[in-house]
Amino acid sequence: MTETPHPSASPTAQPSSDTLGLGRTSGQRGAEIIAGFRAEKYPTPETLALSRWAGRIVARMFMRMPHSDKAMNYLVARLYGLTELARRALPAQREETVIVELACGLSPRGLYLAREFPDVQVIEIDLPDVVRDKQKRLEQARNLTLPPNIRWLAADLGVTSLDDILENQQVDVVIAEGLTPYFTNAEVIRMANHIRNSLKPGGSFVCDLPWDEGPGGEGQQVAGLFSRQAGLYKCKLKNEAEARQLLADAGYESIELYRPAQMAETLKLAQPVIEYSFFAWGRKAPQQAAAPADVTPPA
């Protein structure tokens, strides 16, 4: 039975017109298109298991459009760029380390990280329909063994706080790929602040923050078609200073920003000529040492 959305549900959780048979919400449709692209461009046991034919067919349509490679290369840089930042954010001592990915969709990132770091617990969170479908696809996949250190939680962050979802557990790294664009700047600040509350001292929030410069002329047709299926961007940042200020307003002490092309070059990926966002890494302040007690010497 399909859930009735909560009145204050996230924009990507609200039912809307599905002309291509990809899903009843924009979140589902966006996830299906991106999963289809990954399967077509980079077929692996994970990407094939997480995609379905409808998503692959639509992805092929996108890939045949003029200048599509320039737009699609960005998605590859975003997946692997944010994954690299999550790696860098992991503490040196891995005991009881936890990574949480919000709006995980049909991304293979959690599987990759869980395999690479078997001593780290990976938690993926998304809407109930998405989580249920993702688990089913992975369970039915051939030649794919799920790592034991990954699990899924079903929730809508537009309705339930991350603190409640995690039952007040504090974690080391929170990743959010493709989530912030669908909220206003003020909503993203509130969201990032709530995420900060769920981080351990010194913990990290890794995400993409939309860049208002946008896709430009060559990628406009691809971006426009995708947004009609996955939803319109609401968060808009004009430059790096605004992106830094957004995370600073959310309470992060240390902030690093990376351009997609810069990260693609570092990781030896195809260059995303069109840059839709900044890749951001915000860190919570480490726990402050207690001030020494005022000891009065004996008389």
Q: pLDDT of 45-86, one tens digit each?
A: 999 999 998 889 888 887 787 666 666 788 889 999 999 999
User: Would residue 72 count as lying in a domain?
Assistant: yes
**Does residue 58 form part of some domain?**
yes
CA gap 279, 261 in Å, rounded: 10
Backbone angles phi, psi at 285, to 5 degrees: -60, 140
CATH number at residue 182: 3.40.50.150
Whether the Cβ atoms of residue 73 and residue 269 lie closer than 8 Å to each other: yes
pLDDT for position 247: 97
Bridge partner residues of 207 (DSSP): 176, 280
Name 143's bridge partners: none
Q: How confident is the model at residue 229 (pLDDT cuts 50, 70, 90)?
A: very low
Residue type, 163: D
Does residue 9 form part of some domain? no
Inside any domain, residue 291 = no
Q: What is the pLDDT of residue 267?
A: 96
Percent of the chain with pLDDT over 70: 77
Q: How far is Cα 268 from Cα 240, in angstroms, rounded to an integer?
A: 24
Question: Domain range spanning residue 180?
Answer: 16-283
Residue at 114 is within a domain = yes
Domain count, the chain: 1
**What was the pLDDT predicted at 288?**
52
Residue 296 has pLDDT above 50, yes or no: no
Q: Virtual CA dihedral for 92, 98, 102, 105, nearest 10 degrees?
A: 100
Residue 12 is predicted with a pLDDT of 54
**What pLDDT shows up at residue 106?**
94
Please report whether residue 294 resides in a domain. Answer: no
What does the block give as tokens for 182? 């669908």
| 132 has pLDDT over 50 | yes
* 297 assigned to some structural domain: no
Least confidently predicted of 113-122, 149-158, 198-207, 288-297: 288-297
- pLDDT for 20 equals 53
Q: How many residues does the chain have?
A: 299
8 is a domain residue: no
Sign (positive/negative) of CA torsion 79, 177, 131, 21?
A: negative
